[in-house]
Amino acid sequence: MKKHILASVFSVCVFGGLTGCAATLVEHNNIESVNSTLDVNALAYVDPFIGTGGHGHTFPGAVVPFGMVQLSPDNPSKGWDWTSGYNYSDNQLLGFSHTHLSGTGVGDLLDVLVMPFRGDYQTRRENKLKRVVSEYSHADETASAGFYQVGLPREKVNAELTATQRSGVHRYTYSGKEDAKVLIDLGYAQNFDKSVATFMRVLDDHTLVGYRISTGWTDFQPVYFIAQFNQPFSHQFYKEGEAQSGPFINTEKSEVVLNFGDIANQPLVTKVGISYVSIDGAKQNLATEVPNFDFDNVKQQAEMLWAKQLGKFKVTDSNEQAKRKFYTALYHSFLAPQTFNDVNGSYFGADGSAHNSQDFKRYSLFSLWDTFRALHPLLTISNGDRVDDMVSSMMAFYDETGLLPSWDLMANETDVMIGYHAVPVIVDAYFKGLTTVNPEQLLKALKASAMQERFGIDLFAKYGYVPSDLEVEAVSKTLEYAFDDWAIARLAKALNKDADYQYFSQRAQSYKTLFDKQTGFMRGKTATGDWVKNFSPTHVDHRTTDYTEANAWQYTWFVPHDVNGLMALFGGEDPFIAKLDTLFEMDSFMEGDVSPDISGLIGQYAHGNEPVHHVPYMYSLTSQKWKGEQRIKQIRDTMYRDNPDGLSGNDDVGQMSAWYVFSAMGFYPLNPADGQYVLGTPQFEQVDIQLPESKTFTVKRVISGQKAGAYVKQATLNGKPVNMNTISHKDVMKGGELIFTF
């Protein structure tokens, strides 16, 4: 099947790619559509370098909110911490590619590499990397929302980057009289990625088109592009460094060197449009979004789009460091899901075919094992107008494959993590009134994911849990399937589907079968019902354990849909709290094959990975809420810092950042599909959230008396005491005032 698709793409690429349907204007960077009077103060607090060091795996380059293009610098990969293409510890540049992943634990993309350079190309490749490499200094490197700049002394060039939704714009200012050159390398790949077919053709002395088809984490990923320059060039094609003749090149790995001659102090502007459908789509995207070579205007458009997005949250506080962390966390939260359709509505489907929709905008990059927890609930507040398109995108994925996405990367199902977490995202959107998709169709799709016969889901249905002797990660899978099934039951009940409600409600209680009262942990069972032997709650094995990127200490708490039921298993509130206390206070030592994902440790709590993100908020549902406040503040202060090594673990496409955004405001979606937010402790004097219909939801921190206490004494919503330490999504979206009194 894959060979057939590849052959089909070969045949259409040369003739312009998969043809699109009638054009229609969809969202793009149009400065007139953005209020030019926006307060841009928030932009001053965004530092794209935060998270680019250590295990953060973010990138510093130019991008707009939810953009298809992420134009960013690439370093030579030195291991896992270079999965975004960049790590702040490095100072070697390979070029600027147009697609990047933010905060993932697996690397891919890095498509259409562009590198300004000087000298003979073949000579410059005479190094162990077989690539043009140029050193730079962080002292001559800057980044802000929608903009990136770096000086390259060896090349005598200053490089500036900005972006629109579907295009990247470069400005290279060369000095000196040596010929100015630009390399475009389609064979370039790092991490798991590998090019399998590339094509380039020079249309005229200002224009180049082509495509790159790759495999790796994504099984099949076509990217089409057009590159236009404001100055004429001569060109030479290469195949892995060997010069090639002819008007075009079509091979597994290809490069082209463009020579612009002596253009000292004459800025070379390059604009590159991409499409996942066709070269014609890339042409139309570029013509629509970047009709001229005005770099500064495109940069201003990008900044205004970020000002509009980030300006939905206004912080009043004197803590400048905390504001940098907050607005950068917001910035990272709004990088994905990514726009995936062309301006005419065409998109590359999960079935390997081109589609066109005038009814919704297609999104991709759904890191759902991570983002269902806090990122998607945040988007229901900040970008409710996008949620229906995201639900429709997941439903289109279902129509194309028969299943909802689990971890969708450029219309490829990676199956990299467990659970079927499109379910809580869709159910949450339905109950918040943010999707117009027929609920009967939604339920049908949810059930299809829950009734698969793989990943132990069939075993889960048969045994009432996933047996450890029949499936890896059995405990984690049981717990996450139970939560997803709770969400399905909730929708079934609303639709009066009693049989479905009863069935999935029963499955949602399956977590109880794996709780070992003797040890006080969620523990693996065999198919015969026996506990797995040689149990140790601190043991980790990244490949064969019962737990996904975690141990029993970290996964025992994953019952967000039934905290009271979990508390009862422990024997009541007091032993429940005592166990929580021990989690945070005990030694951090773990035995076995400890995954680097398990980071950001406070005791056995591992904030650098997602399974425990809700745990501090469990205290809020007890009589000792203050203990949770203590831990929330500790996590905010120690696991988030305003420097490149500022994240305690992978940002995971915004989930780590979304946790901080909620926790700095003072509330969090402990159960991300029940429409409730559990109260924590606010970091700022005041946060104003701008909502639709000119409404505002304000969160205030108020000091009673002459001196503030360490913990919240009372919380009021619109003057009335908050009961049960929770507020609803409806409460937030009505607008009003939440006051925490210390």
At 440, which CATH number?
Answer: 1.20.1050.60
In this prediction, residue 708 carries a pLDDT of 66
386-395 residues labelled b (16+ CB within 10 A) or e (exposed) = bbbbbbbbbb
**H/E stretch holding 707:** none
Nearest CA to 171 among 94, 99, 114?
Answer: 114
Question: Pick from 416, 435, 452: which residue ends a domain?
Answer: 452
Q: What is the dihedral of CA 390, 395, 397, 399, to 10 degrees?
A: -160
In this prediction, residue 488 carries a pLDDT of 98
E strand segments, 126-205: 134-135, 141-144, 147-152, 157-163, 167-174, 181-185, 194-204
Over 70: is that where the pLDDT of 740 sits?
yes
- Does 189 share its domain with 109? yes
How does DSSP classify residue 448? H
Residue 535: inside a domain: no
Average pLDDT over residues 586-606: 95
462-477 residues labelled b (16+ CB within 10 A) or e (exposed) = ebbbbbbeebbbbbbb
**Four-residue CA torsion sign, 398, 401, 406, 411:** negative
Question: Does residue 337 have a cis peptide bond before it, meaning omega lies within 30 degrees of 0?
Answer: yes
Its domain, for residue 394, covers 363-452
634: Cα within 13 Å, side-chain hemisphere: 16
Question: Pick from 452, 484, 515: which residue ends a domain?
Answer: 452
Question: In whole angstroms, how far apart are CA 433 and each of 183, 363, 484, 674?
Answer: 49, 20, 19, 13
- Does 415 share its domain with 299? no
Contact 257, 235 (CB under 8 A): yes
Distance CA 637, CA 321 (A): 10
Distance CA 573, CA 567 (A): 6
Please, what is the average pLDDT of the chain? 94
Provide the β-strand partners of residue 316.
686
Average pLDDT over residues 195-204: 97
**H/E stretch holding 272:** strand 268-275
Average pLDDT over residues 107-133: 97
Q: Under DSSP, is residue 347 helix (H, G, I), strand (E, B) or coil?
A: strand
Q: What is the dihedral of CA 392, 397, 403, 405, to 10 degrees?
A: -90
Nearest CA to 660 among 378, 315, 425, 403?
Answer: 378
166-190 residues labelled b (16+ CB within 10 A) or e (exposed) = bbbbbbbbbeeeeebbbbbbbbbbb
Over 60: is that where the pLDDT of 344 sits?
yes
Helix/strand/coil (H, E, C) string of 34-77?
CCCCCCCHHHHHCCCCCCCCCCCCCCCCECCCCCCCCEEEECCC
% of the chain with per-residue pLDDT over 90: 91
Residue 21: inside a domain: yes
Contact 112, 208 (CB under 8 A): no
Residue 421: inside a domain: yes
Provide the β-strand partners of residue 737.
698
Distance CA 208, CA 627 (A): 60
In this prediction, residue 38 carries a pLDDT of 61
In this prediction, residue 19 carries a pLDDT of 32
- Does 272 share its domain with 212? yes
Over 50: is that where the pLDDT of 36 sits?
no
Average pLDDT over residues 169-183: 96
Residue 25: inside a domain: yes
Assign residue 219 the CATH number of its domain.
2.70.98.10
Average pLDDT over residues 19-38: 37
Residue 203: inside a domain: yes
Distance CA 436, CA 641 (A): 40
Distance CA 279, CA 199 (A): 11
Over 60: is that where the pLDDT of 33 sits?
no
**H/E stretch holding 234:** strand 234-239
Nearest CA to 512 among 539, 478, 489, 486?
Answer: 478
Residue 588: inside a domain: no
Question: In whole angstroms, how far apart are CA 685 and each of 208, 316, 482, 575, 666?
Answer: 53, 6, 39, 35, 11
Q: Which pLDDT tens digit goes with each residue over 401-458?
A: 999 999 999 999 999 999 999 999 999 999 999 999 999 999 999 999 999 999 999 9
Contact 317, 48 (CB under 8 A): no
Over 70: is that where the pLDDT of 329 sits?
yes
- Does 262 share its domain with 389? no
Residue 207, both tokens: 């224009």
Contact 317, 686 (CB under 8 A): yes
Contact 116, 233 (CB under 8 A): no
Q: What ranges in 187-344 are assigned the alpha helix state H?
A: 279-289, 295-310, 320-333
The number of distinct structural domains making up the chain is 2
- Does 208 share its domain with 130? yes
Burial of 116 (0-12, 13-18, 19+ CB in 10 A): buried
Q: Under DSSP, is residue 366 helix (H, G, I), strand (E, B) or coil?
A: strand
Residue 483, both tokens: 């939560």
Q: Compute how many other C-beta atoms are within 10 angstroms of the C-beta atom of residue 242.
A: 9
% of the chain with per-residue pLDDT over 70: 94
Q: Under DSSP, is residue 659 helix (H, G, I), strand (E, B) or coil?
A: helix
Question: Pick from 452, 479, 500: which residue ends a domain?
Answer: 452
Nearest CA to 51 among 243, 324, 277, 262?
Answer: 324
Over 90: is that where the pLDDT of 705 sits?
no
How does DSSP classify residue 640? B
Q: How far is CA 143 from the centre of its chain?
A: 19
Question: What are the φ/ψ torsions at residue 286 (nearest 5 degrees)?
Answer: -70, -45
- Does 152 share its domain with 231? yes
Q: Which pLDDT tens digit goes with each residue over 226-279?
A: 999 999 999 999 999 999 998 999 999 999 999 999 998 899 999 999 999 999
Q: Say how many residues make up the chain.
A: 742
In this prediction, residue 41 carries a pLDDT of 87
Residue 488: inside a domain: no
| Tokens 């030479």, residue located | 236
Over 60: is that where the pLDDT of 500 sits?
yes
Distance CA 264, CA 445 (A): 59
Q: Which pLDDT tens digit goes with each residue over 543-565?
A: 778 999 999 999 999 999 999 99
Q: How far is CA 687 from the centre of its chain?
A: 24
Contact 642, 321 (CB under 8 A): yes
**H/E stretch holding 407:** strand 407-409
Nearest CA to 717 among 708, 727, 703?
Answer: 727
**H/E stretch holding 617:** none
- Does 376 share its domain with 291? no
Residue 655: inside a domain: no
- Does 104 share its domain with 172? yes
Distance CA 403, CA 385 (A): 25
Residue 68's contacts (CB-CB under 8 Å, 6 or more residues apart) are 99, 165, 166, 274, 338, 339, 340
- Does 242 share its domain with 383? no
In this prediction, residue 3 carries a pLDDT of 32
Over 90: is that where the pLDDT of 22 sits?
no
In this prediction, residue 18 carries a pLDDT of 36
- Does 289 share its domain with 428? no
Q: Which pLDDT tens digit goes with each residue over 508-544?
A: 999 999 999 999 999 999 999 999 999 999 999 877 7
- Does 303 share its domain with 375? no
- Does 239 share its domain with 379? no
Residue 147, both tokens: 């903009």
Residue 533's contacts (CB-CB under 8 Å, 6 or more residues apart) are none
Residue 132, both tokens: 């043009």
Over 70: is that where the pLDDT of 17 sits?
no
Residue 271's contacts (CB-CB under 8 Å, 6 or more residues apart) are 167, 168, 169, 170, 227, 228, 286, 290, 293
